[in-house]
Amino acid sequence: MNNGPFPWVVTKEELEQAPTGAFVECADCLGDNRALRDGDDPLRWARDHVAMLPHHNRFRVVTLKNFSIASVLSPTPDSAR
Ligand SMILES: [Zn+2]
């Protein structure tokens, strides 16, 4: 299971084991967000954001899991099977 930030996945178990990430975003902006790493405080980013744009006070923390699967153009490497 290795394909940089988008690991190859074949089984549901591999998908469950894929690393997760998270970001905080402003619900009132299109695309303004900050990736969250261990120890990052989403409230700090939200407070800085609302200080610049006082009418932007709705936020969400989004967790995600990147993965790749085989296609005709990019077959899964044998090591991932
Ligand atoms: Zn905003």
Give dist(CA 53, CA 49) in Å, integer: 6
Expressed in angstroms and rounded, the spacing between residue 34 Cα and the centre of ligand 1 is 12
pLDDT, residue 76, reads 66
pLDDT, residue 79, reads 54
Expressed in angstroms and rounded, the spacing between residue 51 Cα and the centre of ligand 1 is 10
Expressed in angstroms and rounded, the spacing between residue 49 Cα and the centre of ligand 1 is 6
Expressed in angstroms and rounded, the spacing between residue 53 Cα and the centre of ligand 1 is 6
In sequence order, the β-bridge partners of residue 26 are 59
Q: Which residues hold their Cβ within 5 A of ligand 1, which is an ion?
A: 26, 28-29, 56
Closest CA to 40 of 19, 20, 13, 22: 22
pLDDT tens digits, the chain, 81 residues: what are they? 567 889 999 999 999 999 999 999 999 997 789 999 988 999 999 999 999 999 999 999 999 999 999 888 877 666 555
